[in-house]
Structure 1
């Protein structure tokens, strides 16, 4: 926690891991302008962002990840302004500091489960520790499947692999896009608990963007678009 002295008084300033200011986005020059509420999250805090289909939830997630450039506004992660980074530096920053859980599975089909996680570490320029991979696989109930091909996994196993791929490099921010929308109540709870536990393990901020109101009770902080 940073502080400064002013007129013999100490003013404490809470450090914010994620902060957005006046974000807007427009897909076409004459299309509708999407405006988003400001976000300010301290390190380790979680946030649920709710909204109906077509309201711009995935757009907001892509802005937070630096996959899209806003028309106006800024996204700060760990005091880094994503808009100020050139594409190659932004790619490196994202690969190291952000974990993404997409609706569609993004595993490499030519690699088995274990080697998918090794590849993710290499992509992040992180050291490859086989023991670390084994630990994450165990935490997510995938140890017995580490040599399996991606085509041999069930939907639930693919979902857990997606979480493993998003946390294996110890990101500072974990972004999940509709992680429970296609799940029944039982598996919905399992996936949210897995996401929260993995974020806690690495002291990462978890932001879940969804239209699924079933998971609202799992979050202290939420906003509706």
Structure 2
């Protein structure tokens, strides 16, 4: 379950506060958040992940009011329960593919199971490059690795920031199908923020900022 109430955020005193619609996702429900640049999509994603604290309002993930947690508890909660898919790859360049995924599990205090990692890599078409260094991967492989890093620890919420904006139609479809499939397999909420209207058919729930 993911729920928000009366969320607002302000970057400086001079700027007008950003106000966001309430979200109420039940088990297995996903959400598309649409909007043009500058309307606060990424800000909302950062609020939902706990990377920013709202000025007003509450955020509940699995019943936990995350914006009331101490920084230490919030870091631990985010590491275990939230998966983030960024536009840019944040894989550790000194580690190979499988080492990156093992490190993600280690930092989320999740048991490293090589069989589970291999299964995930196989599902995402990365098994043949599991021992490759990051600089040996194509853009498409880096994108699939970003998805793997976001779901390997089986989070309750997967947040994706413009995952298809630079892709052609075929790769847009492939990436969205992978995200929806991985969210379903890990019983997670998938929340995608984007200005890309091509992803609308993948969602029953959508809001526009």
Q: Into which bin does the TM-score normalised by the smaller protein fall?
A: over 0.9
Instruction: Say if 2:17 is the partner of 1:33.
Output: yes
Which consecutive segments of 4 or more residues in structure 1 shift more than 2 A? Answer: none
Query: Post-superposition shift, 1:26?
Result: 0.5
2:85 is matched with 101
> Aligned-pair distance for 1:29?
1.2
Whole-Å separation in 2 of the counterparts to 1:180 and 1:133: 24
Between Structure 1 and Structure 2, whose CA radius of gyration is higher? Answer: 1
Q: Name the SS for the 2:5 alignment partner.
A: strand
More strand by share: 1
Match of 2:144 in 1: 160
TM-score normalized with structure 1 length:
0.92
Measure, in 2, the Cα distance between the counterparts of 1:71 and 1:132.
40
The answer for unaligned runs of 5 or more in structure 2 is none
Task: Report whether the alignment pairs 1:218 with 2:202.
Answer: yes
Cα RMSD over matched residues? Answer: 0.5
Q: Distance in 2 between matches of 1:43 and 1:176?
A: 18
Q: Does 1:59 align with 2:47?
A: no
Measure how far apart 1:30 and its partner are: 1.4
1:147 to partner: Cα distance: 0.5
Alignment of 1:1-225 (within 5 A): 17-225=1-209
Q: Distance in 2 between matches of 1:156 and 1:56?
A: 27
Query: Cα deviation per residue 1:37-76 (whole Å; 9 max; x = unaligned)?
Result: 0000011111000000010000000000000000000110
In structure 1, stretches of 5+ residues that fail to align are 1-16
**Distance of 1:44 and 1:200 partners within structure 2:** 7
Count of aligned residue pairs for this structure pair: 209
Name the SS for the 2:22 alignment partner: coil
Give the aligned partner of residue 10 of structure 1: none
1:114 CA drift (Å): 0.4
| Aligned counterparts of 2:138 and 2:12: Cα–Cα separation in 1 | 38
TM, length-normalised to structure 2? 0.99
Deviations 1:137-158 (A, max 9, x none): 0000000000000001111100
Q: CA offset at residue 84 of structure 1?
A: 1.0
2:27 & 2:78 partners in 1: Cα distance? 17
Q: How far off is 1:217 after superposition?
A: 1.1
